[in-house]
Amino acid sequence: MRTFCDKSLSLHKYEKRFSMMKKLLLLAALAALTVSCTKDKKILILYYSQTSNTKAVAEALQSRLGADIEEIIPVVPYDSDFGATIERGRKELEMGFLPDLQPLKSDLKAYDIIFLGYPVWFGTYANPIATVLDMPGMHGKTIVPFCTFGSGGLDSSSKAIAEKLPENPVMPGYGIRAARLSSVGPELDRFLVEYGYIKGSFEKLPDFSEFRPVTEEEAAIFDAAVGSYPMIHAKAAEVASRDIEDGVEYKFIARDLPRENGGPAPDHDIQVNVLAKEGCAPEFTQVIR
Q: What's the CA gap between 151 and 271, in Å, rounded?
A: 11
Q: The domain containing residue 233 runs over which residues?
A: 11-24+206-288
How many residues are present in the chain?
A: 289
| pLDDT tens per residue across span 156-185 | 999 999 999 999 999 999 999 999 999 999
| The predicted structure's pLDDT at residue 82 | 84
Q: Rounded mean pLDDT of 261-279?
A: 81
Q: Rounded mean pLDDT of 194-202?
A: 93
**DSSP SS3 for 105:** coil
Task: Output 186 or 258, whichever has higher pLDDT.
Answer: 186
- Tell me if 29 is assigned to some domain: no
Co-location of 51 and 139 in the same domain: yes
Q: With bands split at pLDDT 50, 70 and 90, how would you rate the model's confidence at 15? A: very low
Q: What's the CA gap between 245 and 249, in Å, rounded?
A: 10
- Tell me if 2 is assigned to some domain: no
The residue among 149, 169, 194 that closes a domain is: 194
The residue among 194, 229, 258 that closes a domain is: 194
Q: For the chain, what is the domain count? A: 2
- C-alpha torsion sign, points 122, 126, 128, 129: negative
